Structure 1
Amino acid sequence: MEEISPKPTLYINGLNGKIKKNEMTHQLYGIFHEYGKIVNISIKRTKQMREQAFISFSDTNSAATAMKKLQNTIFNQNPLKISFAKTPSYEIMRRNGSGFQFKRTRRKINQERNKRRKQLEKEENEKSSQKSVERETPTSILFLENLPEDANIEFINILFEK
């Protein structure tokens, strides 16, 4: 498993998904606030993010201490699984003055993605137009239609001798 460097934001999973978001926020604050100043608690209730939360402390030492002391603590009948978040929370980045840069970077990533998508569409259109040109390329096969019923091979040879 990839080693994640210490950050002031903790990732917590294994929460009880049946508890309401506001109540969970208050409970998490209640057990984590004694380890340092909490800047933000983020809980999302989407399918992918249920039973998970992010707690942002004002400093990395507070987060590290909370993680060490509360790891596997039984909380609402479930053991807490705590690790450092992969990226700092937006709130921490905003406080450090790098939030705007983060947003600009995200915007730039989306622009590059859209540019690449348009390039792929253009290439796909070029390929399809090349295929239609290939279909129109002359061959040695000639298709004849509307010939008289009594036409035979000799009749056709006479037509195309010249």
Structure 2
Amino acid sequence: MTDPKPTIYVNNLNDRVSLTILNNELLNLFNKYGEIKQIKTGKTMKLKGQAFIVFKSNEDANKAIEGLQNHELFSKPMRIVYAKHNSDLINDKETIKQRKLAKKKEATKPNPKKRKLQDKENQEDKEKKKKKASDTNEWKKLPPNHILLLQNITENSSELDSTFEELEGFINIRFVKVRNLAFIEFENEDCSTKVLKLFESKEELKKFGSDIILSYAKK
């Protein structure tokens, strides 16, 4: 005998009745015995005349079997037993639960490949920052010049003139688009040095690019 479970199997149903009408009638009959979670009726020729009904509890399923066994529905007596397996609804819930647990477990599990890739990316970032700092220091070592060089301009190049033209001793600015840099000429080295000190923090210049470098131009 099949063990009690919330899912029952009903057969010998009238397969000439439309599924909509059959489902409604099954619901009306069986919900008197407890809360119904799901009703599945066979749609294919092979499965027609059969249904699986899922109750909230084993007790409700048992009451339905006892109360409606051989009950005539559309001129045919129903045959009702416990299903051999729980319905897809219950199985789906159990499967989803297991998948969530497995996914959670997998998320906390170290992934060697992912970690190796992350370590590589971190190392590349460190090397880039180190090179950037080194490049910046090299440019800072250049001797004074009345011409300044602004490098790594990636945006807002149209604002170059307005940023420098009001500064003391400004003569002109020449933007070299293909190289993303600009030469800014002043009357003398004192003026260019003051501008270097003015933009020492580089915060205002970051509007031209995050890797911006302002230095004396090479003579």
User: How would you bin the TM-score normalised by the shorter chain?
Assistant: 0.5 to 0.7
Q: Distance in 1 between matches of 2:27 and 2:78?
A: 14
Change (3 A) 1:102 1:79: farther
Q: Deviations over 1:95-148 (max 9, x none)?
A: 4xx123789xxxxxxxxxxxxxxxxxxxxxxxxxxxxxxxxxxxxxxxxxxxxx
**Alignment gaps of 5+ in structure 1:** 104-162
Q: Corresponding residue for 2:89? A: 91
Between structures 1 and 2, the one with greater strand share: 2
The ranges of structure 1 where at least 4 consecutive aligned residues each deviate by more than 4 angstroms after the TM superposition are: none
Spell out, residue by residue over 1:47-76, the C-alpha distance to the aligned partner (whole angstroms, 9 max, x if none).
Answer: 221100000001110000000110001111
Determine the structure 2 residue equivalent to 1:52.
Answer: 50
CA distance in structure 1 between the aligned counterparts of 2:88 and 2:41, rounded to whole angstroms: 14
Q: In 2, Cα distance between the equivalents of 1:52 and 1:102?
A: 29
Q: Distance in 2 between matches of 1:102 and 1:24?
A: 34
SS in 2 for 1:61: helix
List gaps (5 residues or longer) in structure 2. 100-219
Q: 1:48 to 1:59 in 2, by over 3 A?
A: same
Based on CA coordinates, which of the two structures has the bigger radius of gyration? 2
Equivalent-residue separation in structure 2 for 1:12 and 1:44 (angstroms): 11
Query: Which residue does 1:43 correspond to in 2?
Result: 41
- Quick one: which amino acid aligns to residue 14 of structure 1? N
- Cα separation, 2, equivalents of 1:102 and 1:71: 35
Is contact 1:94–1:100 with CA below 8 Å preserved after alignment? yes
Shift of 1:80: 0.5
Question: Could you tell me which of 81, 84, 96 is aligned with 1:100?
Answer: 96
| Contact 1:4/1:85 (8 A) holds in 2 | yes
Q: Which has the higher contact order (CA 8 A, sep 6+)?
A: 1
* TM-score normalized by the length of structure 2: 0.43
> Counterpart in 1 of 2:29?
31
Q: Distance in 2 between matches of 1:99 and 1:7?
A: 18
What SS is found at the alignment partner of 2:37? strand
Structure 2 SS opposite 1:17: coil
In the aligned structure 1, how far is the partner of 2:35 from the partner of 2:7? 12
Q: State, as a whole percentage, how many aligned pairs show the same letter.
A: 31
Query: Aligned equivalents of 1:93 and 1:102: distance in 2?
Result: 10
Equivalent residue, structure 1, for 2:15: 17
RMSD: 1.7
